[in-house]
Structure 1
């Protein structure tokens, strides 16, 4: 296999034997093949594709389409019925919840056991143990039996072990849907870091937006067949059209996708599109407030080059600190900056991102020509950005940045940056008609012709 190919799947099929009664399994063993006591279920049928090293590939498909079976075949936990799979590199996988963990062992014991399965020596695991436990953030439960863990705690620990095994191929099967939004953001940030190091990521999700944001290639499976593959946005569009198709039209749509015919993006009605927003109906008028437990656990601080950002926070227009916002209202995003070195042409920035890291929008305090000409060492500044909250209900993160040049410097550099400095939620909206991420203030009218 070419060294540039991380995964090569060639004409792979997988058949399971379905027995109607427990005794039929015994009868099949005793018959020595003279009679069949089972029904065949082909979970995968003649699947072929290649994944380039360093790429991020998403797999989409309805439940029962064969996604999980395919991942287990790639990981080697299942054998193919026919065809072959070649992999090039160390594999770390998050498959079914709890896979590879002994429920009777403690979290600590499972870390060492799972790490050894992934190819780490005990000495290597010792060096990474503190980082694993810090990322999992399950506290004293690390020394409790895994059977006492919640599903969220289990996936935290499993993901922490997998990403610290330095995988060359990382396989994730919908596991991140279990964690809370703050942990999901932490995971997506780490996935970005792993990808930047050249690792190959194979990602299964029912979330079309996640596939579009994270992946550079996508594969559509249906009823055990590979219908098509290509650009994530196109594949997700085809997947959604197939998933929401009326039963009497599904086969025709399926055939058109499989034959490679042009498929237009699916037009979702209000119910279908609402899967991307929180339509919870508030019983009273929504109001903003501050939740002291809502804190960013995924903040990344860049190396300082003469400036430090401190105390980022959001306030309403009365100066009251808030982190649960109401769509349509105006707020102020603030942070302090301390300069330990003099700088020229100084300006500031902010960006709002989703839990998967998609940048929704941001601002600079000024253009390069209108930046602060000189800021002396020892200066402290309060930076504020006023913004209208136009995003739909959900959880979002805000970055903060300082830009400038040293004396006689020519190129603008990042003096300091905080990624995911602040987290905020947008509270549910009563009778919400806006779809997707941003409320553009759309109004509609319908006229009989």
Structure 2
């Protein structure tokens, strides 16, 4: 990743006029500029936003609906002027800001490719040279010569994305448009985004999917009500975003203040093998790297795992509790021995207790295993919604136990814990812990499996004879 900046956003704000009555818009148009009276209220979509993005960096932008994500991207792309502040962009931008943006509905797909390519900075001859590749990627067949007003939403996205990625952008901006396409096309798009990123392009990516942001992005920012609340590693920011999603309305301001106070520094650390991680992640990683197994426990006693008191997460986030509280999350062996350094292939139990301060109905419990960077690997729940616990009364405590076989590669992993219940006719979290516990899987020199998870694959390789080759 280059130290040069691709994007610099300084003190950017954007306000839109809101008129209480249609006639007030006319009054404002006819009022002299020097008039003190204004016939509108201002809605502040963005307030004093400061962001820097380095060349070759992939930045994820997350936030609830109406938080200002799309407004920010439009200002960066130059399709919207800020009310205050400055934006500096270095390089050619290709953007998918909204469905069909840049397309003329009366033109055919072929004509729109020419138009859109020109808008993105290519000459007609350059677009013609790349047309076959664009059409092949879009996979819309003979519809390329039909008016785009006849296209489905998926066809719009296919064609727009095909053009955007084939103009060789220095900066690619994607604003949730890929959620329209089918799974196979989304996978194709993400593979191409990874290739563009590997070639040194800068990517700005807006998504509500925590997994995609965590996996695709180097860094993330959280917007809420037009304010930049948090900035840091995807894992750090996504956990705060989830906390905002489930916070009760009467606690929203307090949670916003808490997130604002713990915001990470935007400056990237010096180049180290842990430089892609947030401050808390690097502390966790350094803690883990310093752990070594006592030889007596592993060899003399034949133990299949052990407990290290220093292996405690520093990145734990608790949602606002709503009548229940999770406590003492940990891992045990089937015999009940507490461990957090595991042996691959063995069976363990993830255990936690929940104290109910208020009565709750339709209660379920869940868990999730994640990597050091926050990539969600898998988890489970105690029941389907229709089979949940009908009632847990105030004052009761429930012990939850999840049995799992450790099929993970050597490394460090984190566990979530959550309690769901029905409130006002809707299932919602009444308590949730992000990074509630952490564990380490010991190295396995004889391991043949690749990747995070061992799928217990059996392989065979046989040399074929001449008659078998031509059979």
TM over 0.5: yes
**Cα distance in structure 1, aligned partners of 2:160 and 2:380:** 29
1:273–1:144 Cα change, 3 Å: farther
Which residue matches 2:317? 265
1:237, 1:266 within 8 Å by CA — same for their partners in 2? no
Q: Equivalent residues in 2 for 1:92-111 (5 A)?
A: 92-111=94-113
Q: Secondary structure at the match of 2:257?
A: helix
**Cα distance in structure 1, aligned partners of 2:253 and 2:469:** 65
Which residue matches 1:75? 77
Which residue matches 2:135? 133
**Cα distance in structure 2, aligned partners of 1:223 and 1:373:** 62
Does 1:30 find its partner at 2:30?
A: yes
Which residue matches 1:8? 8
Out of 207, 212, 215, the position equivalent to 1:213 is: 215
Does 1:250 find its partner at 2:252?
A: yes
The alpha-carbon deviation at position 149 of structure 1 amounts to 0.5
The alpha-carbon deviation at position 360 of structure 1 amounts to 5.4
Q: Secondary structure at the match of 1:160?
A: helix
**Cα distance in structure 2, aligned partners of 1:83 and 1:206:** 27
1:361–1:37 Cα change, 3 Å: farther
1:272–1:253 Cα change, 3 Å: farther
Which residue matches 1:165? 167
The alpha-carbon deviation at position 19 of structure 1 amounts to 1.6
**Cα distance in structure 1, aligned partners of 2:10 and 2:223:** 15
The normalised TM-score by structure 2 is 0.59
**Cα distance in structure 2, aligned partners of 1:68 and 1:173:** 7
**Cα distance in structure 2, aligned partners of 1:16 and 1:372:** 66
1:61, 1:206 within 8 Å by CA — same for their partners in 2? yes
Out of 230, 233, 240, the position equivalent to 2:232 is: 230
1:106, 1:144 within 8 Å by CA — same for their partners in 2? yes
1:372–1:364 Cα change, 3 Å: same
1:116, 1:122 within 8 Å by CA — same for their partners in 2? yes
1:217, 1:230 within 8 Å by CA — same for their partners in 2? yes
1:272–1:161 Cα change, 3 Å: farther
> Where in structure 1 are there 5+ consecutive unaligned residues?
282-348, 353-358, 383-449
1:242, 1:253 within 8 Å by CA — same for their partners in 2? yes
The alpha-carbon deviation at position 22 of structure 1 amounts to 2.7
The alpha-carbon deviation at position 260 of structure 1 amounts to 1.3
**Cα distance in structure 2, aligned partners of 1:50 and 1:217:** 11
Which digits, 9 at most, give the CA deviation of each residue in 1:1-43, with x for residues without a partner? Answer: x971000000000010112233222211111231211110010
Which digits, 9 at most, give the CA deviation of each residue in 1:26-77, with x for residues without a partner? Answer: 2111112312111100100000010010011100000000000000000000
**Cα distance in structure 2, aligned partners of 1:271 and 1:202:** 35
The alpha-carbon deviation at position 278 of structure 1 amounts to 12
1:103–1:372 Cα change, 3 Å: closer
**Cα distance in structure 1, aligned partners of 2:365 and 2:180:** 24
**Cα distance in structure 1, aligned partners of 2:470 and 2:4:** 50
The alpha-carbon deviation at position 196 of structure 1 amounts to 0.7
Which digits, 9 at most, give the CA deviation of each residue in 1:275-303, with x for residues without a partner? Answer: 99999x9xxxxxxxxxxxxxxxxxxxxxx
**Cα distance in structure 1, aligned partners of 2:189 and 2:365:** 29
Q: Secondary structure at the match of 2:43?
A: strand
The one of the two structures with greater contact order (alpha-carbon pairs below 8 A, sep at least 6) is: 1
**Cα distance in structure 1, aligned partners of 2:174 and 2:16:** 23
1:265–1:32 Cα change, 3 Å: same
The alpha-carbon deviation at position 364 of structure 1 amounts to 7.3
Which residue matches 2:387? none
**Cα distance in structure 2, aligned partners of 1:193 and 1:182:** 17
2:6, 2:202 within 8 Å by CA — same for their partners in 1? yes
Which residue matches 1:200? 202
1:240, 1:266 within 8 Å by CA — same for their partners in 2? no
The normalised TM-score by structure 1 is 0.62
- After TM superposition, the runs of 4+ consecutive aligned structure 1 residues lying more than 3 A away are 265-279, 349-352, 359-366, 371-382
1:277–1:365 Cα change, 3 Å: closer
Moved more, 111-120 or 21-30: 21-30
> Where in structure 2 are there 5+ consecutive unaligned residues?
264-313, 321-362, 369-375, 385-447
User: How many residues are treated as equivalent by the alignment?
Assistant: 305
Which residue matches 1:124? 126
**Cα distance in structure 2, aligned partners of 1:205 and 1:267:** 21
